[in-house]
Amino acid sequence: MQRLAPALREDNVPLDLISLIKTILAATKEISFRVSQAHLGGLMGSTLDENIQGEVQKKLDVVANELIKDILLESGFVRAISSEEEEHSVVGDENGKFIVSFDPLDGSSNIDINSLIGTIFSIHEARDDVPAGDAAQFQQAGTKQVCAGYVLYGPSTMLVMTTGKGTHFYVLDRTHGGFLLVERNVQVPKTTQEFAVNMSNQRFWQPPMQRYIQDLLAGDTGPRGKNFNMRWIAAMVGDIHRVLTRGGIFTYPADNKDPKKPFKLRLMYEANPMSFLIEQAGGLAVTSQERIMDIEPDDIHQRVEVIMGSEEEVNTCLSYYQ
């Protein structure tokens, strides 16, 4: 099995980007260890703080954020970073070539139940026309990502990553401490009979999503003429990993539960990197209105509607909005 760096060189990934990726991965290896020892190390449960999203921070959220933030800021590779756990972007090295957006620990409600969680990251080139601390550094569409990925802290610690040349799976080999390539050019099957959505929000969705899911639930006696299965891990990393592995449609649709907050998932460190991975694997990633990666961001924490996965199923879902 091939090691990470040679696999990236084979894809002609520039050396400075490879160095940045290795830097992020060094932090995730440490997080993987801390996650596995959380109970023993007194890292279960919540802090007394809330993050900018108004969510209670778990102790592991804070630890993961500090580990990634510190290693990135010390590396010299990044001009600025933004994180789910930081209110504002943080300036790094003025000569850093890249900016990184990350969700240090996605799915944190799974921490206390020893279930799937992961780190999501998205890399853009830094803009030379604006200062490092300028908000415009991060106002770059998903199409401009040079790399995106996640590390899933599951039974195996897995890295799923793209640099725009396909989506590849790697597994952390603890015997030598590095990630090994286990599957090159993963492909999301075009069709599926599996969907992922938080059904408890059903009554708050817009009518087209209500009708679409209704027709999935109707199974082989309904308009779709086939039965569908449902899965919901409640960690985007876990659900998207399943979609990349065996297909499916994942959605967090708009809802009117709280009129001030119609969407849940964050564009810069959840929707965009996952969209890049899904599209590079032959899937689709959209809102009900547009391709996610075409959105011009205006805020590092902005939220967005998400519909992604198997191409034909995503198109079927979109047809309900026409």
Binding site for Mn ion (CB under 5 A): 103, 106
CB nearer to ligand F6P: pick between 67 and 236: 236
Q: Which residue has the tokens 């409640």?
A: 234
Which DSSP category does 174 fall into? Answer: T
Shortest gap between Cβ of 86 and Mn ion (angstroms)?
14
Q: Is 56 in the site for ligand F6P (CB under 6 A)?
A: no
- Shortest Cβ distance from residue 301 to Mn ion (Å)? 11
Give 159's strand partners. Answer: 151, 170
The β-bridge partners of 100 are 81, 123
* Contact characters 243-272, ligand F6P, x per CB under 6 A: ---------------------xx-------
Residue closer to Mn ion (CB basis): 106 or 279: 106
Q: How many residues bind ligand F6P (CB under 6 A)?
A: 9
Nearest residue to ligand F6P on Cβ basis: 236
Nearest CA among 73, 272, 128 for reference residue 136: 128
Work out how close the CB of 109 gets to ligand F6P at its nearest, in angstroms, rounded to a whole number: 6
Check binding of 197 to ligand F6P (CB under 6 A).
no
Instruction: Tell whether residue 60 is a contact of ligand F6P (CB under 6 A).
Output: no
Q: How far is CA 13 from CA 3, 4, 21, 146, in A?
A: 14, 11, 10, 9
Nearest partner of 293 among 92, 145, 158, judged by Cα: 145
Residue among 115 and 193 whose Cβ is closer to Mn ion: 115
Residue 10 three-state SS:
helix
Determine the residue type at 296. Answer: E
Residue with Cβ nearer Mn ion (59 or 127): 59
Q: In angstroms, what CA-CA distances link 268 with 2, 84, 169, 297?
A: 30, 9, 22, 8
| Least Cβ distance, residue 49 to ligand F6P (angstroms) | 17
Q: How far apart are CA 86 and CA 131, in angstroms?
A: 19
Q: What is the DSSP letter of 177?
A: T
Q: Cβ atoms within 10 A of the Cβ of 30, count?
A: 15
Q: Which does 90 bind (CB under 5 to 8 A by kind): Mn ion, ligand F6P, none?
A: none
Among 152, 158, 236, 268, indicate the residue that binds ligand F6P (CB under 6 A): 236
Q: How far is the CB of 234 from Mn ion (least distance, A)?
A: 10
- Residue 107 or 149: the one with the smaller Cβ distance to ligand F6P is 107
* 234 near ligand F6P, judged by CB under 6 A: yes
**In 10 A of CB 223, how many CB atoms?**
9
- Tell me which residues touch ligand F6P (CB under 6 A): 106-107, 198, 234-236, 239, 264-265
